[in-house]
Amino acid sequence: MRSRKVIIVFLICCALLSSVAAVAAISNSMMISREANLILDVTPAPHSDAVTEETQTPDVTETPTEKPTPTPTVEATSTPTEITTDLDPEKPIVALSFDDGPGTLHTERILDVLSENNVTATFFVVGDMANNHADVLARHKSLGCEIGNHTMTHKTNFKESGVDKVMEELKGVDRLVKQATGDETRLVRPPWGAFTDEVLKEVDRPFILWSVDTEDWKSRDKDAVVAVVKRDVFDGCIILMHDIYSSTADACAEVIPWLLDEGYQVTSVSEMFAARGVKLEGGKVYRKAPTAQEYMESKSNN
């Protein structure tokens, strides 16, 4: 009798241990990677930066928090607003883009730097991050920055998901941004830069990729980020960073004044393209704007 009891207790312990191991394995495999590679399976973010870890999107929820909307596609792109700009299209321009935020403290510091230097940028926000930060979204707007859509959860790969799922991800962010700022998001940055032609066509919004990848998520090092920008920057480029790292905020404080000293006009994605006479269209992919040279040539040809 007693030995039977011992065996039962032993079996219960075994069952408990194996379920704990299974949960650990699942959550480990669900770490979010950043855009730098077009592959999902890049190195997970290391755990060195406590503040950053706090701001990461929760990994486990598979079910999106918002209800699927009945209306399919388009809508937000139906009335594109005209962009006005004071930029000189005949002088060098770069667009700054920040993904995965708002990263609270880090985003606020980046906004301080932008404001001090009288420049703007595009923030491709994640809904789960923006949920409790309507104030940050409102500040983006008040500083003249642009808000783009980087999906509700950052968990849906546009290469592997149907259009309905993708639209559900985008509409969640649309709602949050509309509530916080009164504006609709137009530009989309697909997580990891991954998508299919079908999704691109069906979603019918401009997909904005990048031409200078700072890999700030990987290095977490201010000097490395500054060095990449100084090495790779060119007229018409879109620079990719993430406003969820303190090292990226540090890098901005250094590299934005440097860009201005070098004669670059620093701005948001939409403003750069508008200055160069390009209307961003749904169903198309953009990685860089025409250079000043290309702009002047096309003008003289018309």
Closer of 249 and 275 to Zn ion (Cβ): 249
H, E, C per residue of 181-233: HCCCCCCECCHHHCECHHHHHHHCCCEECCCEECCHHHHCCHHHHHHHHHHHC
Closer of 190 and 282 to Zn ion (Cβ): 190
* CB-count burial class (<10 Å; 0-12, 13-18, 19+) for 251: buried
Min CB(100)–Zn ion separation in Å:
4
Quick check: 168 binds Zn ion (CB under 5 A)?
Answer: no
27-66: which residues touch Zn ion (CB under 5 A)? 35
From 128, 242, 243, 250, the catalytic residue: 242
Segment lying near Zn ion (by CB under 5 A), choices 93-101, 220-228, 261-269, 286-294: 93-101
The only residue of 77, 92, 100, 240 in contact with Zn ion, by rule CB under 5 A: 100
Min CB(154)–Zn ion separation in Å:
6
Segment lying near Zn ion (by CB under 5 A), choices 10-18, 70-78, 97-105, 205-213: 97-105
> Total residues contacting Zn ion (rule CB under 5 A)?
3
254 CB contacts (<8 Å, ≥6 apart)? Answer: 222, 226
164 CB contacts (<8 Å, ≥6 apart)? Answer: 68, 72
With CA atoms as reference, report the closest residue to 106 among 217, 18, 4.
217
Min CB(191)–Zn ion separation in Å:
5
Min CB(22)–Zn ion separation in Å:
28
- Phi/psi at 94 (5° precision): -130, 150
99 a catalytic residue: yes
Quick check: 99 binds Zn ion (CB under 5 A)?
Answer: yes
Cα distance between residue 189 and residue 125, in whole Å? 9
Q: Which residues bind Zn ion (CB under 5 A)?
A: 35, 99-100
Give catalytic residue positions.
99, 242
